A and B are shown apart, each in its own frame.
Chain A
Amino acid sequence: MSDRQADKSIARTLPARDPLLADAAHEWKSAYIHIPFCRRRCPYCDFAIVDESAVRSDHARYAEAVLAEIEMEEGIGRLDAVNVGGGTPSLIDPAHLADMLDALERRFAFAPDVERSLEINPEDWTVERADAWVAAGFDRISIGLQSLDDEVLGDLGRMHRASIIAEVVSEARAAGFRSINVDLIFGHPGEPAASWRSTVDRVMDLDVDHVSTYALTVEAGTELGRSVSDGAPAPDDDVQAERYEHFVAAASSRGIVAYEVSNHARDGHACRYNLSTWAHGEYLGFGLAAHDHRWGIRGRNHRRMDRYVEDIDAGRRPRLGTETLDRRDQERDRLMLGLRLAAGTPMTDTAEAFVRSEAGARFVDAGVIRIEGGRLVLSNPLVADAVAREALSVSASDC
């Protein structure tokens, strides 16, 4: 254990699915900053964002609030990963982002090999901005690509054209980003199988290190949710399963392997912030609706901008609520999350109790889960929730 903790830089070299990497991630500390602004809300999105097609926002004021929040935070030790997400972080002045990274480093310090990741939308891409982001300290970029079919992009409410992506990726590499991710959304009812296959083929030809694949999910209260409840076709689980399996096969043949249900990377490029979340590590969260987890407490910030700013101005943490986890809660969260990792999760007492339970035994018999090298591993990531549901209820009563 101690040598793993001592040498955190192993992440640079280890295979994406290595259990050592997953266990190291459990010890990592990370931070998330939420930049909530979007030009407009995508039809499937239920995140806490500010839709700028309706409201003009004062980015500078928000950036100041985030900096003030960072100053209020006691910290959890040196940070191994930072992720700036949204919303659309590429929408605001890169100088604000630079200030935020600086503030984090000043306040908490960064590990020598810290990962600093930034989410951007392709329509915001310019070489000048890219240089500014690199100069700010970002070494990983995550591009909201979603599809390489303009019709599907339109259905998803995205604003960019597929044709610009190849250039964005090569310019990102030239700008100096160490690691490049693209996000994909699959299984929109209007997306033909051929469109997905073509997107996957072309993504494989891009020079990317990491791909996140998200099955389009219908959330209540979204435009998509309303149209589905009004009778529009919903995404089909079987179709989504086929899409996913097609991607996994194509990507793994190109050396991009799934290390978590939705995340695939070349060796050495597993996202540290991501891994840390799924390995039940500790993280800080700053900004609107940001979440954090440290010292066995999960906290959440206000989802409303006025409340968030009001608390900051009054010198208070902008808390909406917290949830304290006892040891058993911690273990079952670790089990629930860890089942999503390709490396699986350590055989804790909770994992042991689950495997011994009636439901757990059924999954073992059906080959859905297995014990391998002292770890509990999910054989089919597509049924992770079915397993987690049972795992949660078993560990709640039997430990």
Chain B
Amino acid sequence: MSENRMILQSSPHARDRESVRKVMYTVTLALLPAVIAGTVFFGLRALLVMALSVVACLIFEGIAMKVSGKPVKETLLDGSAVITGLLVAMNLPSGLPLWMVVVGALVAIVLGKHVYGGLGNNPFNPALVARVFLLISFPTAMTAWPVPYGTDGVTAATPLGVLQMEGAAVALQSIPYYNLLIGNVGGCLGETSAIALLLGGIILLVRKVISWEIPVTFIATVLVFTTITWLVAPDKHINPLWHVLSGGVMLGAWFMATDMVTSPVSRKGMLLFGVGCGFFTCIIRLWAGYPEGVSFAILIMNGLVPLIDRYLAPTRFGARQATQGAKA
């Protein structure tokens, strides 16, 4: 038997001492502010949803690895299932029936990841696949948003829901910026606190787990797009700052769109990816049936990543001169 010395793999070929495990635990650390904010505003029930989602993801990951005949223990310890579990929970309302949380975890791990061949092969962000699956399957339960500090069963509309139902003037008046910033509003348990998510995003940037391109272009595109609509029709559309602080933009831009597996590898590609996420978010928010479009926008752009990577691949060393020569 000849030893196989030729390594065949797809890009990126960058080598680093960073292991999957280290990256994953940094992400967990970066999510901590938002976890705390969610627990403060939505109580122990939010913590229960997060814990259950993480445990369920770990169990399904273990089963999926075992079924596909891969090493179970190593993958369980690398933390990717923990992150997926946490991100799934962050995208759910805290009052969701617990069995639906488990269904979400199952969808994320099996349908979002392992049917494509496991970590690194999934074209779509697993946590968002789970969120959209649940949103389409259980529309009532998935849009029953508990009130912050509220008692069980009391629900209210999200800021974006208020915006869609009651219009810009009511939304501006009833929801102060301060509440949007700290997260004292209705919404998914991990998406409401803009400041906690921003803090997490900075941790990711400083630790170089993510680069600036996707989150910055994502948020900037939302800002530019909603500035234009706001200037054109200020009484109909709400101002850009309100758009960026509300809904899932912060969670999506820092934690969901930047997922290494499902975003482009080149810098140009990342810029385009971020712009696309912001663009589709605004289109859905302003003109579609759903009040919020971050998860759909990111999933749409996930689907375009192979194309983006193909057409915006960095020029091969030495290739530029040849093409210029050919054109001249």
A binds B: no
List B residues at the A interface (Cβ < 8 Å): none
